[in-house]
Structure 1
């Protein structure tokens, strides 16, 4: 019963959010006598919401497949999805490697690693991307070394470098969260029991602790997914990539663009991401049902 109510409610709130997003600019207007100040016009905002909602019921607004099902749009769509999924895999791999290496370090070195992770946590994504660009430019200009293909040129879109940049900060954030969960888990009684029975630290980490932290990590992984998505917008723009974000931006810039088209374009893009998030949640529930330790 709960799921029957949940999904229609989620659909309706998504449409309401889209209507609010499209009508929001009409909430503000420049006053003719004081052009340097913004005024608020609630009546215009409400009328814009009504006019946008009416378009959902116009038959001509539903011819969205003809504009979406084109070779260029499909290519951009698949390219952006490849970047997202490869970035998520890279994030999981790098974050896990950092966390497991951290757990095997001496106490003093752990403090230094934590300080480094805390430092990178406060750095904006845009600054990291900009510094990486400058570093690669310097290598190419001074030493004629081109490590990776940075920009999309002649119809060939790079994968490796955008994937690395797109998952750099999410992987550090994921590692930081894994470290916190692992340290809390290492204080529990079953770890102390395993140590008393002579199990090595590696056995405890990989055989028992990993299985028990999967349910907690799977809940938090939704944050990592949306971090990758937000970084993708910056990466595609700054590296001139011909991805799906470019297609969405072009659609939003069209005057009187149909809300049905926008809803469909965004929905098709988010559907695989939502399915991945649900898949990770199911894995967490599966591990949670067998949580425990048989030593």
Structure 2
């Protein structure tokens, strides 16, 4: 019963959030036609919100599948999902590699590595992308070496470069969090007992510590997903990628677009991501139940 109420509450809050998302632009309007200053127009916002709710009771306006089920939209949809899932994979692989290498560094070197990670994680996304762009441009201009295709032009969408860019900051965040969890875990009694028995650091890291931190790490998977999704908006815009975010942007710019269309487009896009998040959460709970933890 508790789970039913929980999921019902999630459904209702999701619908409320999407309704607010659709009506939010109407909350602001120019004070008068000649003014350059925005003001709050609560009446217009409530009117659009009410009209949006009323359209739910009109099944005739629910003609969203035909417009979505086209070759162009599906290609954009699959392309963006590819970028998201491979970016998530890159984030975990790169972040995990950094964290495990860090745990094998001498203690005197670890503070320097932490400072470097903190510095890189604090750099804005745009600056990092700009620096990588300048490096690749210079490499091509001076040496005629093109490592990757950066821009989506002539119907050819790049894959590797957007995935790498999209996973940079999430991988650094994941590495920082993983390092913190590993250092805390390394102070526990079972690690000290393993060291006393003569187990190597690699055995302790991969055979014992990794299994025990899975439940805690799975809790923060939502944060990694959120970072990848927000970066995707930036990456698709900056590199002229014909992805699903562009499709959503075009849909929102059409005044006559039905709210049900928007809900369907967003829901179809988020469904695989939500299923992946639930799958990772179940894995965390499975490992947590083995350890006797209530996740």
TM-score range, shorter chain: over 0.9
| Residue 266 (structure 2) aligns with | 266
SS in structure 2 opposite 1:139? helix
Greater than 6 Å deviation, 4+ residue runs = none
- Is the 1:170–1:227 Cα contact (8 Å) retained in structure 2? yes
Give, in whole Å, the separation in 2 of the partners of 1:91 and 1:130. 20
Q: Deviations over 1:68-92 (max 9, x none)?
A: 0000000000011111111111111
| Residue 64 (structure 1) aligns with | 64
2:290 is equivalent to residue 290 of structure 1: yes
| Residue 196 (structure 1) aligns with | 196
Give, in whole Å, the separation in 1 of the partners of 2:35 and 2:174. 47
Greater mean alpha carbon deviation, residues 22-31 or residues 278-287: 22-31
1:29 Cα deviation after fit: 2.4
Give, in whole Å, the separation in 2 of the partners of 1:33 and 1:254. 22
- Is the 1:211–1:291 Cα contact (8 Å) retained in structure 2? no
Give, in whole Å, the separation in 2 of the partners of 1:162 and 1:34. 42
Q: How many residues align?
A: 292
| Residue 184 (structure 1) aligns with | 184
Give, in whole Å, the separation in 2 of the partners of 1:147 and 1:278. 36
1:59 Cα deviation after fit: 2.1
SS in structure 1 opposite 2:240? coil
TM-score, normalised by the number of residues in structure 1: 0.95
Q: Structure 2 vs 1, CA of residues 38 and 154 (structure 1 numbering), >3 Å: closer, same or farther? A: closer
Give, in whole Å, the separation in 1 of the partners of 2:65 and 2:210. 44
| Residue 4 (structure 2) aligns with | 4
Q: Deviations over 1:157-202 (max 9, x none)?
A: 1111111111011111101100000000000011111111111111
1:277 Cα deviation after fit: 0.5
| Residue 257 (structure 2) aligns with | 257
Give, in whole Å, the separation in 1 of the partners of 2:209 and 2:33. 67
| Residue 46 (structure 2) aligns with | 46
TM-score, normalised by the number of residues in structure 2: 0.95
List runs of 5+ in structure 1 lacking aligned partners. none
List runs of 5+ in structure 2 lacking aligned partners. none
1:156 Cα deviation after fit: 2.1
- Is the 1:166–1:235 Cα contact (8 Å) retained in structure 2? yes
Q: Deviations over 1:119-154 (max 9, x none)?
A: 011111122112211111111112111001111233
2:242 is equivalent to residue 242 of structure 1: yes
Give, in whole Å, the separation in 2 of the partners of 1:26 and 1:242. 27
1:100 Cα deviation after fit: 0.5
